């Protein structure tokens, strides 16, 4: 051991009465005995040996040595002889020791409560056990002038003693305390190290976050409650040391930062200025420091590459060891280190975490609850230094370690321990999760707990999983955004598992919740699960971790009366009913969980509701007209369109313009002039088909067809009035409202715009793949964009003559920095600016019929499927779901022949049959399972063709005797399907 500095009270332990020692001097007292640690107070020192024994020397004015043998030479603290001490610390005139069992002993001056014994005793000369800490296994203790802090192995921080400068971190105005108090403001942060100055304190987290509190006269920290020293967040701090009024921080890369009081040069910045913010010691740049230590007004730093110890600051007592007199404002090497001790001076490196003091290595064969808490902290420590990157966008968690921990706990050998951990999570951890965590590190527990298998067990839903959801939902805005950011970075599999867990909870509550819970709790728990799913859904909209239909609850229509749920939601939205619904949860408020079947039911319910309201209004008006003898003013309860096949567009325009918005909500009936059929749905289907087919005809120039994708988009130049686009919008709305699938070759972006979702480059790739890929290549190009592409901010007009361009932005050439702006402007022009009038006319027509809150329930792809159906054909399922009437059955020879012929048809012929039978060659949004056809036998002879009743998806078919006859007659029928007549 080498020592230097003030020795007036014998605190150097060299056994000689000497006021000051200006150069390092060897102390042979512990040679060969294994000196482990030295702690220095104002005028006394403690020496800890590897065998756990403690020696003390120096002033004993307040009993701080723990013995009465004189202080010139280190003497054994006999009262601790029975203990194996693991750590020691010295205050101004008091001492602490912690044994391997985590018990803390205190002695010395106690007038400020710094001994933590529960009473302000002036002097305690024999070490005493701090009983209030016996329930906790303490791993680190540190002493300030008259206050102490202790860190337990389960991550709790305790403080006691003087609080005149806020050094306990309990807040301004809080009194000093005579016994240890938990510092709750840092709860949840995995702490690696603690340190104390004269009247200030510091704590360092595993991820390098530095928190300080206490006296701030020189900028050594900030305030009377722990505050985050944000400047050090990105520096990978691994160790903190405090002086009287200054602080030093060591980084993983060996950098040294200092701040606080610099009046004696103790900051090493070649000045005596105070530094309110951490500043790197530039004199040591280019070297790696591995150890640091602060005295009251000086600082030491060890550079292992040279074996030199550097010192700077106050030197009035020779505490720098340079052999010189006077203070040093810059680092100077301590003299004669190599000559006194030619081997490596100190083997340990402060940059390597001391696992015995923070996170101990756990024996999986003997786990206890404290070990679990420490293991959870271990999950926040990564060997690749990823934990240092913890910030609002990166959680810095080793998820493999998290899973390994919980897999270990799931083993039968740890069944009781897992049960204990689960109870602790339930009664202690989750209820204490704060609304505003002190730091992002404290938020990692939300991700770690979500991986716990116990939360996925239905028996723990009410006690663990739902309370965790409630704790997440209680978070303030900023920490809530942090959690959203972290979720967005999850593996798709992990995120999917989280979604599935809370979907399962919703199903659990909807199926068995009424039997288990009082209505008020059922309401609260269901709301929490749905709101958490909503939060996850919003994250997924940006991060695209899973498909949107992954949030669907497949059995939702079976679990809940969707129609009743929609009516509740509708009435609440309309502000019609408040009290009678008792604030009950409505699933329609969370449309992302509703699958296609449920949403179709919702839309049909809304349509029926609107139709009934329109019909009821018409009927009420008619009754009034009869009573007033004005029958000629009666209103038709249906929206009736009289049209001619050869003038379909003009007739439809004429008919629809005379109806009001309310009339458009009525059930639609179509009458083709000269035809006898009564419209029970089939005539309407053909009306939509023929009208849209004609409106899409290229001769009108309303739409541009993209040959590469075979899709249509509004033409920027057309030769018809805008009311034609308005008509198409109305027709699309009427098709949805009357549950009719129509054949429209519009891209998904149209339905995005109807739902106010901004177009993306993917939409252009769908409409015009070559253009889309070209813009993608432009965005990804790493070379000189201006020189390679030679582009300006313009777009070639598709409908104009060759060489005509449209300027997008007033700028000559496109450069690399403006690529995103160019692509955005390109998309804005294609999908909005160039077709604004046409689209607005279309959307106003569509929204006139189908607008309102109901649209907010749909995703763009779902709305598209409602309009055009889908083409996921499953012909075998159609056969399986078919039913038969008359003499027909599935085993009838004619029926068997029919299905043989049908399955031999090519795809286009099958689609033509579907068009013939149902009025559309597309299938409804529910898929083939919802398409049920009926085949009915007739007494007609074999030379008659099959007849389709499109209203009922029914096929009348004679009993054909041969397969060839059936094939011929069926082919004739499907190829001549236009027109209606009574059979």
Catalytic residue numbers read: 951
Rounded CA-CA distance 431/924 in Å is: 48
Handedness of CA 475, 481, 484, 485 (dihedral sign): negative
Query: Would you call 751 helix, strand, or coil by DSSP?
Result: helix
Element (H, E) at 503: helix 492-516
- Give the Cα separation of 97 and 141 in Å (integer): 7
Pairing, β 668-672 against β 639-643: parallel
| H/E run at residue 736 | helix 722-737
What does the alpha-carbon distance between residue 199 and residue 956 come to, in Å, rounded to a whole number? 96
Q: How far apart are CA 743 and CA 921, in angstroms?
A: 8
The Cα 951–Cα 134 span in angstroms is 82
d(CA 4, CA 340): 13
* Residues counted in the chain: 983
Residue 249 in contact with residue 193, Cβ under 8 Å?
Answer: no
Q: Given the structure tokens 């929206």, which residue do they identify? A: 639
Residue 387's DSSP bridge partners are none
Task: Name the CA radius of gyration of the chain, rounded.
Answer: 41
Structure tokens at 215: 């006296």
d(CA 642, CA 594): 38
Q: How far is CA 355 from the centre of its chain?
A: 31
For the record, the structure tokens of 590 come out as 């969370």
CA distance 696 to 689: 11
CB atoms within 10 A of CB 72: 18
Decide if 978 contacts 682 (C-beta within 8 A). Answer: no
Number of helices and strands (H, E) in the chain? Answer: 26, 36
Instruction: Judge whether 168 and 183 are in contact, CB under 8 Å.
Output: yes
Which residue spans within 122-197 are E strands per DSSP? 123-129, 138-143, 147-152, 157-161, 177-182, 191-196
Q: How many CB atoms lie within 10 A of CB 306?
A: 12
Residue 546 carries which DSSP code? Answer: S
């Amino acid at each position: 051991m080498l020592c230097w500095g003030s020795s007036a009270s014998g605190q150097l332990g060299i056994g000689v009465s000497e006021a000051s020692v200006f150069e390092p001097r060897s102390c042979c007292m512990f040679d060969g005995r294994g000196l482990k640690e030295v702690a220095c107070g104002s005028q006394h020192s403690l020496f800890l040996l590897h065998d756990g024994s403690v020696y003390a020397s120096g002033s004993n004015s307040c009993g701080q040595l723990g013995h009465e043998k004189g202080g010139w030479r280190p003497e054994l603290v006999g009262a601790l002889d029975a203990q194996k001490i693991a750590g020691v610390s010295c205050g101004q005139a008091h001492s602490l020791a912690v044994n391997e069992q985590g018990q803390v002993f205190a002695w010395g001056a106690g007038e400020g409560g710094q001994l933590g014994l529960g009473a302000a005793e002036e002097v305690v000369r024999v070490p005493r056990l701090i009983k209030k800490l016996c329930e906790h296994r303490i791993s680190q203790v540190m002493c300030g002038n008259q206050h102490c802090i202790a860190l337990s192995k389960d991550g709790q921080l305790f403080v006691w003693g003087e609080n005149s400068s806020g050094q306990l971190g309990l807040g301004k105005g809080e009194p000093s305390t005579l016994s240890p108090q938990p510092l709750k403001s840092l709860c949840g942060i995995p702490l690696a190290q603690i340190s104390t100055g004269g009247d200030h304190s510091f704590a360092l987290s595993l991820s390098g976050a530095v928190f300080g509190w206490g006296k701030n006269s020189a900028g050594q920290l900030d305030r009377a409650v722990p505050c985050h020293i944000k400047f050090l967040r990105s520096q990978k701090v691994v160790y903190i040391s405090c002086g009287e009024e200054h602080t030093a921080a060591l980084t993983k890369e060996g950098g040294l930062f200092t701040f606080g009081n610099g009046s004696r040069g103790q900051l090493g910045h070649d000045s005596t200025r105070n530094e309110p913010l951490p500043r790197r010691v530039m004199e040591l740049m280019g070297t790696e420091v591995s150890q640091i230590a602060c005295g009251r007004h000086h600082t030491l730093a060890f550079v292992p590459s040279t074996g030199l110890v550097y010192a700077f600051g106050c030197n009035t007592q020779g505490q720098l060891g340079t052999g010189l007199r006077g203070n040093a404002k810059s680092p100077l090497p301590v003299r004669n280190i190599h000559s006194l001790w030619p081997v490596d001076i100190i083997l340990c490196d402060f940059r390597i975490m001391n696992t015995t003091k923070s996170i101990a290595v756990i024996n999986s064969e003997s786990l206890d609850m404290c070990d679990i808490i420490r293991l959870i902290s271990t999950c926040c420590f990564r060997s690749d230094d990823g934990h240092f990157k913890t910030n609002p966008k990166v959680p810095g968690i080793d998820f493999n370690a998290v899973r390994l921990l919980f897999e270990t706990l799931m083993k039968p050998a740890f069944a009781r321990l897992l049960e204990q951990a689960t109870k602790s999570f339930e009664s202690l951890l989750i209820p204490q999760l704060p609304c505003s965590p002190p730091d992002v590190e404290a938020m990692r527990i939300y991700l770690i707990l979500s991986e716990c298998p116990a939360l996925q067990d239905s028996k723990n839903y009410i006690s663990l999983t739902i309370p965790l959801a409630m704790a997440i939902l209680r978070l303030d805005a900023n920490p809530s955004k942090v959690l959203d950011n972290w979720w967005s970075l999850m593996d798709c599999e992990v995120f999917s598992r989280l979604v599935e867990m809370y979907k399962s909870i919703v199903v659990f509550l909807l199926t068995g919740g009424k039997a288990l819970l009082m209505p008020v709790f059922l309401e609260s728990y269901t709301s929490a699960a749905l709101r958490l799913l909503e939060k996850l859904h919003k994250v997924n909209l940006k991060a695209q971790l899973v498909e949107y239909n992954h949030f669907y609850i497949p059995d939702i229509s079976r679990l809940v009366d969707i129609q009743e749920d929609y009516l509740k939601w509708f009435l609440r939205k309309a502000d019609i009913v408040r009290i009678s619904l008792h604030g009950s949860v409505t699933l329609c408020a969370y449309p992302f969980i509703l699958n296609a079947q449920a949403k179709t039911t919702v839309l049909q319910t809304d349509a029926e509701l609107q139709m009934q309201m329109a019909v009821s209004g018409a009927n009420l008006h008619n009754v009034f007209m009869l009573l007033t003898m004005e029958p000629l003013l009666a209103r038709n309860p249906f929206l009736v369109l009289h049209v001619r096949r050869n003038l379909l567009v003009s007739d439809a325009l004429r008919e629809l313009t005379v109806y009001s918005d309310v009339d458009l909500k009525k059930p639609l009936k179509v009458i083709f002039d000269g035809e006898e059929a009564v419209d029970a749905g089939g005539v309407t289907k053909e009306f939509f088909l023929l009208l849209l087919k004609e409106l899409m005809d290229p001769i009108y120039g309303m739409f541009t067809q993209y040959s590469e994708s075979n899709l249509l988009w509004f033409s920027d130049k057309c030769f018809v009035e805008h009311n034609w686009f308005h008509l198409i919008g109305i027709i699309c709305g009427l098709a949805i409202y009357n549950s009719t699938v129509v054949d429209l070759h519009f891209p998904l972006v149209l339905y995005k715009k109807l739902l106010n979702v901004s177009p993306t480059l993917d939409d252009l790739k769908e409409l015009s793949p070559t253009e889309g890929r070209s813009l993608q290549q432009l965005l990804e190009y790493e070379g000189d964009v201006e020189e390679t592409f030679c582009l300006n901010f313009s777009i070639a007009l598709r409908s104009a003559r060759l060489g005509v361009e449209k300027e997008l932005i007033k700028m000559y050439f496109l450069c690399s920095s403006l690529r995103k702006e160019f692509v955005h402007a390109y998309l804005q022009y294609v999908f909005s600016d160039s077709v604004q009038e046409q689209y607005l006319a279309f959307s106003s027509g569509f929204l006139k019929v189908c607008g309102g809150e109901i649209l907010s329930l749909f995703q763009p792809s779902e709305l598209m499927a409602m309009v055009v159906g889908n083409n996921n054909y499953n012909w075998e399922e159609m056969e399986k779901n078919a039913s038969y009437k008359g003499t027909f059955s599935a085993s009838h020879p004619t029926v068997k022949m029919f299905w043989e012929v049908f399955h031999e048809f090519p795809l286009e012929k099958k689609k033509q049959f579907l068009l013939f039978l149902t009025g559309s060659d597309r299938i409804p949004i529910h898929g083939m399972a919802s398409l049920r056809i009926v085949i009915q036998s007739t007494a007609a002879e074999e030379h008659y063709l099959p007849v389709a009743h499109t209203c009922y998806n029914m096929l009348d078919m004679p009993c054909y005797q041969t397969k060839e006859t059936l094939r011929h007659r069926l082919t004739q029928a499907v190829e001549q399907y236009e027109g209606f007549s009574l059979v």
